[in-house]
Structures are given as structure tokens and as C-alpha cells.
Amino acid sequence: MSTVQWRPYINALTTPRSYKPQVIPRDTIGYKELAEEISRENPLWSTDLVDSILRARDEKVMEMLINGKQVSLENSFTYHLTLSARLDAPDAPLPPAEECVRVKVYAARAFVEEVQQKVQLERLAPIQKAPVIAGAQDTVLRLDNVLNPQGLLRLTGTDLFFDPDEADTGCVIEGTRNGKVAQTRFGSISNSEVQVIPDIPAQNDPWNNEYQVSVMTHYTEHGSLRTGTYGRPLRTPLAVTLGNGDGILSGANRNPLVTVSGGDLEAESAQVRIQAVLDSRSGELRLSLLDMQANGVQADTVTVNGNGPYILPDLAGSGLSGLEVNVQNAAGLEELVRTNYSGRMVDILNVQAGA
């Protein structure tokens, strides 16, 4: 039997300082996992059968509540409705149901006592307070996870504030292959947001357009330095000249994973995005063109079946058609998209016609 893990956290509402324990769940279990566990202990019941029974039970409990009944399961759980509203008079109307009806569930005393008798608790070491960067957006292009040299990078999160005049605190942008620059030009700096005009370090090769951003701060005058690093790499726009074999969709590699070999431009230049997506169900790696709007237009996809040339379908209105790419390392591209980008990696391409 495994333990229930918990960790102490500072209780900011008390003076002098105290701590409150908080349970850290090992996992979140749904219908499928619960059905599998029950079926494993009762081999005559299939997982599908148990799953359907669990779902039918919840549907029936909901039906009973809707019909004004309370459901009390012996030595288990009680389900009932409450109303959360303030009435100015006994005959005043209730607010709409979506505003005042609440569903309450509580465990029976016998259930709680059995858990208390059998549970084993395990203390985890406390986590030190540190900056947490939850999001990064270029405010000019209005695209997430883009590091635009002509833009303003907006970092959002918690506990981000730092004093830019302190020697060892601040914001740093670092290339995943090489190069590191402490930032000096800021807009707002607060606990929830930092705006920085990025000074981007050069990396060895033009396709090395992948960067990490970090914030360092002290929370007290003599406190230790705390660092928070954004969990997703940022990518700078790439200059691509058709016919030059410029690298794209790569990381810290010494050789590009993908190159652009050709295409047709209706004007002297065009700006588009290209994405590599790893389908979680089929495992297929797919490429496609995107417009420059978040959640905007996407062209048809092409499935990558290995190294070699691919022609990406046209993106309407982009001025670019028949973009020809050459996948140099399909396995490396798939691994990069999976491990560093949670299944989706996007590059901005500033495309120019060749000589």
C-alpha cells in the first residue's frame, strides 16, 4: 500500500509565520482507471462493464437530485442540493438556478474513520518560493512563445517581481545551443507580469532560433537568489530565401532538421508560419502552413513518412504557394516536437524570393 504524500506550505495569513499541510495527489483517476482496478480484483466483470455501471450510477444520482431527492449511500457518500441566495423578503423570487443551486457531496462518518485508520502519510520537503513563468507572448505579433527582435515580450505568472538595479536579479534570455544575455530594457515589472524589449543573443547557425527565458529575484533583503525558467522554448522568426536551403524547425542542432528548397512567391516577400504536429492518436508527424493569427487559418497537412522532400499545400491569401521543404532528420524532428514542445512546434518564416 502506497502512502499519501503531503507538503508544508507557508500560511501567509498568520503572524507569527505558520505552515499548513497540503496533500499532493500522486495521480488523477478517471472512469477508465477505476474500472480497470475493479475489474482486476473481480475477473468476472469486464472493464467495459464496470465503466458503464459507474457512469450509469452517476447519471442516476443526477436524475434523483433533479427530481428533488437526496441520495444517501450507506457508509459511503451523501449527495444533496443546497441553495445559495440572499432574499430580501420571504416571498422574493429566487435567482436563476444556475446562480443559486449547488450540489454537495460529503462522506459518511464510517467512511472517513476507515480512511483515517488505514492511511499512511508521507511528508515531502517544502518547496521554496520561486518565480513561475506561466506564459510568454510577443505583443506585436500577438503570438505565444515567439521571441520577436522587433517586438515586446510579455511574461506572465506569479512571484515575478525583481529589482532591475540589483546586480544578480533580472531577466535572462539564453540560446539552447549557445549565447546568453541579461536583459536591460523593461516596461512593467510586477509579480504577475514582466515586459521586456528583448536583446537576443546570436547562436552559431541561423536555424538555431530556440531560446529559454528565466527570471531571477530575491524575496527578502538577505534571501537566497530564486530562479524561475519558462518551461517552453521561445522561437525567433527565421529569414528564408527560396532556393538557398535555409534551415527551419530545428533546435540546438549543428545541422538543420528541415530545410526550405523552393516555392513560389506572388510578391517580393511573405510572412507565414509553419508547424510540425505529432498526432497523439496515430503517432504521425504532420507539417502545414499557418497564417499569422493565433487560432487562424491552417492549410492542409502533409504527413512525414521519413527523410526526403515534401510540398506543403498552399495557404490562401499568404502570397506563398507550393512551399517545398526537405526533411533531413525525421526521427530527430519527431523527438524534438515530442519532448520539447508537447507535440506542436511552430516557426515564423520571413520568406523572400531567390535571385
Local confidence pLDDT in tens for the 355 residues of the chain? 789 999 887 666 666 667 789 899 999 999 999 999 999 999 999 999 999 999 999 999 999 999 999 999 999 999 999 999 999 999 999 999 999 999 999 999 999 999 999 999 999 887 778 899 999 999 999 999 999 999 999 999 999 999 999 988 999 999 999 999 999 999 999 999 999 999 999 999 999 999 999 999 988 877 788 899 999 999 999 999 998 999 999 999 999 999 999 998 888 899 999 999 998 888 899 999 999 999 889 999 999 999 999 999 999 888 888 899 999 999 999 999 999 998 999 999 999 987 6
**pLDDT given for residue 223 in this prediction:** 78
- pLDDT score recorded for residue 17: 62
189 - beta bridge partners? 194
Q: Give me the pLDDT at residue 355, please.
A: 66
CA-CA distance, 349 to 334, in Å (whole number)?
A: 20
Question: How high is the pLDDT of residue 16?
Answer: 67
**pLDDT the model gives residue 280:** 81
CA-nearest of 106, 98, 58 to 80 is 106
d(CA 148, CA 151): 5
Question: Would you state the pLDDT for residue 64?
Answer: 97
Instruction: Say what the pLDDT of residue 237 is.
Output: 97
Q: What is the pTM of this model?
A: 0.66
User: What per-residue confidence (pLDDT) applies to 13?
Assistant: 64
Domains of the chain listed by start with CATH number: 27-123 (4.10.520.10), 132-235 (2.70.50.70), 238-352 (no CATH)
CB distance 9 to 16 below 8 Å: no
**ω before 16 within 30° of 0 (cis)?**
yes
